[in-house]
């Protein structure tokens, strides 16, 4: 049997029917990672531990014991998520040799379900980027075209899934960092609504916006993983206490009666013509499945990106203040006194993008400017949330492009941070408003690069956006195409 591009269901079936052993499965992915190490999708590989765990799973199968749905399945974890006993670097020099003393809640839940961790995925430093070029461990390459970026900040996770280096991966999304790389790499990326999944053990970038979620081959796989990682957590006061839905069971059923909203502001200047054509074709396909489509307006959409790039760096400057060379992580060997420990450690340890956002955040929070910038951005955030609430009283979901363009070239936007930030123009509003969002493959550019369709839903509507995405995938084949 071929191991190539197994879904969760296929991998589980192969194990329980003894078509292959868990050691065979883990060995396949470790070999793929080694063969494609030029992609640089992993910072740390935990091969020995993965094989040891696989041996235990095989012994369980031999005894005829029942396997859980995710048990024995090899997965990868973004290196912004704590993993006990394994290096967690946040792709930064300042945490290059940091070994986490505990598991993030999402990791603990996956381990409890029997998932085997293959290693830690490369990402933009502290999640600060849209191209996976800011990592202290080098950029990740896009498996579809190695001259292109995989997107960011969860670029390593998306590239690993697209290149068949794991069954699925976990990423984090603060302004599109799961959905945008999923679109660029031709895989599925789910950002749950804020609080649906615990943030405990995520290295904080922007505490009010961060969210962990799965990157998978199919929407069905995303539903399976979300069912495991969602739910309340006593360690995270922002985690929702309401019981999550059975996301897998909710996929069944057609789209008759569903009302889809198309925000006019998402289809204006700046949108690549090939992306627009792919989205419009996907909309026709959804209409053929029984959904009705109406145009809606979100006039404050244009302000979402500006508000995000004030709120986000403000919280970044606060969260990254803890990395000072005293308690953990890198400490400068050149420091001669306490003041130099702080200054030189941060100067040497942080990369250029991290420094840029720390300074931006410190500025917007400084005396005389906090009211003019940060407080105004928070007011705009409230307007955006209210605007979405009103729109979702009229429609069930929104359909938009995930990114305005296909994947761009390595280094193409590195010298122009503003142009880079515009890559997030269609994704940041979901974080600003606390919405859930799903990116699914919807076609290819003339150069063979994947394109992504974004499905947005109101708070608590993860099951609904997954159902829409599942129906779309069941009637199309874009997600079944893989890099050569």
List active site positions: 78, 153, 177
8 A C-beta contact, residue 311 and residue 209: yes
Q: What are phi and psi of 328, to 5 degrees?
A: -160, 165
Nearest Cα to Cα of residue 323 among 305, 287, 347: 347
Nearest Cα to Cα of residue 473 among 161, 7, 115, 155: 7
8-state DSSP, 230: B
Question: How far apart (Å, rounded) are the C-alpha atoms in residues 275 and 282?
Answer: 11
3-class secondary structure, 184:
helix
Give the residues across from 214 on adjacent strands. 170
The enclosing H or E element of 45 equals strand 42-45
Question: How far apart (Å, rounded) are the C-alpha atoms in residues 334 and 331?
Answer: 9
Give the residues across from 197 on adjacent strands. 230
Give the residues across from 213 on adjacent strands. 171
**DSSP per residue over 337-399, as a string?**
SHHHHHHHHHHHHS-HHHHHHHHHHHHHTSTTTIIIIIHHHHHHHHHHHHHHHHHTTT-SEEE
């Amino acid at each position: 049997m071929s191991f190539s591009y197994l879904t969760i269901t296929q991998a589980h079936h192969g194990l329980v029917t003894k078509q292959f052993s868990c050691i065979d499965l883990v060995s396949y992915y470790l070999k793929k990672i080694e063969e494609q190490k030029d992609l640089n999708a992993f910072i740390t590989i935990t091969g020995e531990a993965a094989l040891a765990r696989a041996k235990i799973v095989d012994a369980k199968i031999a005894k005829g014991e029942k396997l859980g749905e995710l048990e024995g399945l090899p997965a990868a974890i973004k290196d912004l998520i704590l993993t006990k006993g394994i290096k967690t670097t946040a792709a930064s020099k300042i945490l290059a040799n940091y070994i986490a003393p505990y598991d993030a809640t999402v990791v603990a839940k996956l381990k409890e379900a029997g998932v085997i961790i293959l290693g830690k995925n490369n990402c933009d430093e502290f999640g600060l980027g849209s191209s996976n070029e800011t990592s202290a461990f080098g950029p990740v390459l896009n498996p579809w075209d190695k001259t292109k970026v995989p997107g960011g900040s969860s670029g390593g996770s998306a590239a690993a899934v697209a290149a068949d280096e794991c069954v699925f991966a976990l990423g984090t999304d603060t302004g599109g960092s799961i959905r945008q790389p999923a679109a660029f790499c031709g895989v599925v990326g789910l950002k749950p609504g804020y609080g649906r999944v615990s943030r405990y053990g995520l290295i904080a970038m922007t505490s009010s916006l961060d969210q962990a979620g799965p990157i998978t081959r199919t929407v069905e796989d995303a539903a399976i993983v979300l069912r495991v990682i969602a739910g309340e957590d006593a360690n995270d006061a922002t985690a929702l206490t309401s019981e999550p839905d059975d996301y897998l069971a909710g996929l069944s059923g057609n789209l008759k009666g569903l009302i889809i909203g198309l925000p006019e502001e998402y289809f204006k200047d700046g949108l690549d013509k090939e992306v627009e054509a792919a989205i419009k074709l996907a909309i026709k396909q959804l209409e053929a499945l029984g959904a009705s489509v109406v145009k809606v307006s979100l006039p404050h959409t244009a302000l979402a990106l500006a508000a995000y790039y004030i709120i986000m760096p403000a919280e970044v400057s606060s969260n990254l203040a803890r990395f000072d060379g005293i308690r953990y992580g890198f400490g400068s060997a050149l420091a001669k006194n306490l003041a130099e420990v702080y200054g030189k450690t941060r100067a040497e340890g942080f990369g250029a993008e991290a420094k840029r956002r720390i300074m931006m955040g410190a500025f917007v929070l400084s005396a005389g400017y906090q009211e003019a910038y940060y407080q105004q951005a928070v007011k705009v955030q409230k307007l955006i949330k209210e605007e979405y609430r009103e729109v979702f009283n009229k429609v069930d979901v929104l359909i938009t492009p995930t990114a305005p363009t296909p994947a761009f070239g390595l280094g193409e936007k590195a010298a122009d941070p503003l142009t880079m930030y515009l890559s997030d123009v269609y994704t940041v509003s979901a974080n600003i408003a606390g919405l859930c969002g799903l990116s699914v493959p919807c076609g290819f550019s003339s150069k063979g690069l994947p394109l992504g369709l974004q499905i947005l839903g109101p708070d608590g509507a993860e099951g609904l956006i997954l159902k829409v995405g599942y129906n779309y995938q069941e009637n199309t084949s874009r997600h079944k195409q893989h890099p050569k």
